[in-house]
Amino acid sequence: MEHTGSYYAATRNFATDYPRLEGTQRADVCVVGAGFTGIATALTLAERGYSVAVVEANRVGWGASGRNGGQLINGISGLAKIEKRLGPEYADLLWDIRWRGNEIVIDRVARYAIDCDLKHGFVEVALKKRHLDYIQEYAEERAAHNFPHRYELWDAEQTGANLGTSRYMGAFACYRDGHLHPLNLCIGEARAAENLGVRIFEQSPVVAIDHGANPRVRTETGHVDADAVVLAGNAYLSLQQKELTNLVFPAGSYIIATEPLSAEIVEEINPLDVAVCDLNEIVDYYRLSADKRLLYGGRCNYSGRDPASIAKAIVPRMLKVYPQLKDVRIDYEWGGKIGIVLNRIPAVGRIQGNVYYCQGYSGHGVNATHVMGEIMADAIAGTLERFDVFASTPHFRIPGSQTFGNQIIALGMLYYRLKDML
Ligand SMILES: Cc1cc2nc3c(=O)[nH]c(=O)nc-3n(C[C@H](O)[C@H](O)[C@H](O)COP(=O)(O)OP(=O)(O)OC[C@H]3O[C@@H](n4cnc5c(N)ncnc54)[C@H](O)[C@@H]3O)c2cc1C
């Protein structure tokens, strides 16, 4: 399939047109899926001298990686739970993991001159008293780590002045986080990987994997024989059902893009050009694009059915924050699938020793996928310390069908929605 009708697809720097996989290929590592997880893994491996083939069912960045909010936010979902389980001696390692994805993205954008509108600044906004407690803790945590990058606590008045809305009680701004055009990052990284010798195949759905000392990754028209395989299909993956089914649940997530806003409105609602996300369990998030559209995301759907009109579902949420936008045109609306794991910790592991998987970022993956790419590459080279932090996590698989699992997840999310309302 071709890209969805997103703002990102309409403004990508170039269209990728890699060949279909035909006949036999041989590589040290075969990566299945060319989103951030797959491309970050391939690029890291290529930087280290491995020969790599990436096999993508659609186009590079076709999945969540080319459709997301573009918010580059530190952390990996579930890290706090991991620290609780492993103990305080892991605190420093987990703190490094938390920031490593940002470092990789910032470094690669500079090193490979990737034009993806990277901006620094991400603001978490408080809608209730308990959110003010969270942001206070964020500031204290950074102070305790002597965090070397700029961060700020904003009171209600500063928040109103910086974001042009009276909706919030306060905010926490961190300038080591930021925002970017995710599809341009993904295709830019793919080009960097290609320049290092990575072979990329598009429009080539993988239909099966034959296991063994040299696993064979098969499509309808060809195959790759490799020493190791990395499955990076996240919420779109349906391979290895026996091991992976009912572990990660696809949920729909949706975004709208307004028409480009006037300079006066931009100055009023986001003069610092930061990304914004609220602190609810089911978040609303937004930012300006390079051409000054408001990109607003804010709804999840666990039933597997997209809303009849994405704009109708999201515009009222946007107007609660910015009533002054009531007459703006909505130029784009789109959705994509995020992979939710019950305990919110990414599902990482390997099957029969040499088929690795890494998926389920619970909607927070721009940074996480990049550190995971490095963790996968380390694991393939035999360094398992960070891999084991995730792979040793026990995951509960909901018995029964995937549909039943999705219903359980939907029920869980109802609980979170109610919590947000309190
Ligand atoms: C609307 C939306 C907004 C989001 N906003 C943010 C945000 O602002 N910040 C943030 O940090 N995260 C955000 N996320 C989450 C983030 O985008 C994801 O966590 C991340 O992109 C996952 O990357 P991935 O490479 O693992 O998966 P994907 O990008 O989904 O890529 C998987 C790829 O695998 C391919 N594939 C699947 N099966 C096969 C097969 N059998 N053969 C070959 N290829 C296959 C698919 O075609 C796809 O291209 C958002 C997600 C969505 C959907």
Which of 366, 367, 390, when mutated, tests ligand 1's pocket best, judged by the most ligand atoms within 8 Å of its CB? 366
- Which tokens hold the place of 42? 């391939």
Q: What is the dihedral of CA 154, 265, 328, 167, to 10 degrees?
A: 20
Q: Are 36 and 186 in contact (CB under 8 A)?
A: yes
364: CB partners within 8 A, 6+ apart? 73, 75, 76, 77
- How far is residue 146 from each of residues 92, 124, 149, measured CA to CA in Å? 13, 20, 9
First to last CA, the chain: 42
What distance in Å separates the CA atoms of residue 337 and residue 52, rounded to the nearest whole number? 26
- Each residue's pLDDT tens digit in the chain (422 positions)? 999 999 999 999 999 999 999 999 999 999 999 999 999 999 999 999 999 999 999 999 999 999 999 999 999 999 999 999 999 999 999 999 999 999 999 999 999 999 999 999 999 999 999 999 999 999 999 999 999 999 999 999 999 999 999 999 999 999 999 999 999 999 999 999 999 999 999 999 999 999 999 999 999 999 999 999 999 999 999 999 999 988 888 999 999 999 999 999 999 999 999 999 999 988 999 999 999 999 999 877 777 678 889 999 999 999 999 999 999 999 999 999 999 998 999 999 999 999 999 999 999 999 999 999 999 999 999 999 999 999 999 887 777 666 766 777 777 776 676 777 77
pLDDT of residue 193: 98
Ligand 1: centre distance to CA 64 (Å):
3
Length of the chain: 422
- Which tokens hold the place of 279? 């602190």
Residue nearest to ligand 1 atom 18, measured at CA: 365
At 20-52, the pLDDT tens digits run 999 999 999 999 999 999 999 999 999 999 999
Sequence ranges of the domains in the chain: 7-412
What distance in Å separates the CA atoms of residue 361 and residue 251, rounded to the nearest whole number? 11
pLDDT of residue 299: 72
pLDDT of residue 146: 97
- Which tokens hold the place of 255? 């975004």
Q: Which amino acid is at 407?
A: Q
Ligand 1: centre distance to CA 359 (Å):
9
Which residues, judged by CB distance below 6 Å to any ligand atom, belong to the binding site of ligand 1? Answer: 32-38, 55-58, 62-65, 67-71, 73, 205-206, 232-237, 239, 253, 255, 285, 297, 335-338, 359, 361, 363-367, 369
What distance in Å separates the CA atoms of residue 92 and residue 96, rounded to the nearest whole number? 6
Which of 234, 239, 345, when mutated, tests ligand 1's pocket best, judged by the most ligand atoms within 8 Å of its CB? 234
Strands 355-359 and 52-55, how do they pair?
A: unpaired
Which of 44, 67, 189, 236, when mutated, tests ligand 1's pocket best, judged by the most ligand atoms within 8 Å of its CB? 236
Ligand 1: centre distance to CA 153 (Å):
32
What distance in Å separates the CA atoms of residue 116 and residue 190, rounded to the nearest whole number? 13
Q: Are 163 and 269 in contact (CB under 8 A)?
A: yes
pLDDT of residue 358: 97
pLDDT of residue 306: 81
pLDDT of residue 402: 66
CATH number for 7-412: choose from 3.90.1210.10, 3.40.50.10860, 3.50.50.60, 2.40.50.140: 3.50.50.60
Listed as own residue / partner, the contacts of 264-273 with beta carbons closer than 8 Å and 24 or more positions apart are 265/324, 265/325, 266/292, 268/164, 268/324, 269/163, 269/164, 269/165, 269/294, 269/322, 269/324, 270/162, 270/163, 270/164, 271/162, 272/121, 272/162, 273/119, 273/121
pTM for this prediction: 0.96
Q: Are 340 and 249 in contact (CB under 8 A)?
A: yes
What distance in Å separates the CA atoms of residue 326 and residue 31, rounded to the nearest whole number? 45
* Chain-centre distance for alpha carbon 405: 22
What distance in Å separates the CA atoms of residue 72 and residue 70, rounded to the nearest whole number? 6
What distance in Å separates the CA atoms of residue 296 and residue 313, rounded to the nearest whole number? 11
Ligand 1: centre distance to CA 341 (Å):
14
At 50-106, the pLDDT tens digits run 999 999 999 999 999 999 999 999 999 999 999 999 999 999 999 999 999 999 999
Question: Which is the closest atom of ligand 1 to the Cα of 338?
Answer: 53
Strands 216-218 and 208-210, how do they pair?
A: antiparallel
- Which tokens hold the place of 68? 């997301």
Q: Are 33 and 204 in contact (CB under 8 A)?
A: no
φ, ψ (nearest 5 deg) of residue 78: 90, 0
Other CB atoms within a 10 A radius of the CB of residue 207 amount to 12
376: CB partners within 8 A, 6+ apart? 37, 41, 44, 230, 356, 358, 387
Which of 338, 356, 370, when mutated, tests ligand 1's pocket best, judged by the most ligand atoms within 8 Å of its CB? 338
pLDDT of residue 19: 98
- Which tokens hold the place of 88? 């305080």
Ligand 1: centre distance to CA 162 (Å):
31
Helix axes 36-47, 182-195, angle to 10 degrees: 30
Other CB atoms within a 10 A radius of the CB of residue 31 amount to 33
- How far is residue 408 from each of residues 32, 199, 235, measured CA to CA in Å? 28, 40, 17
Residue nearest to ligand 1 atom 9, measured at CA: 71
pLDDT of residue 298: 87
pLDDT of residue 385: 97
Ligand 1: centre distance to CA 168 (Å):
30
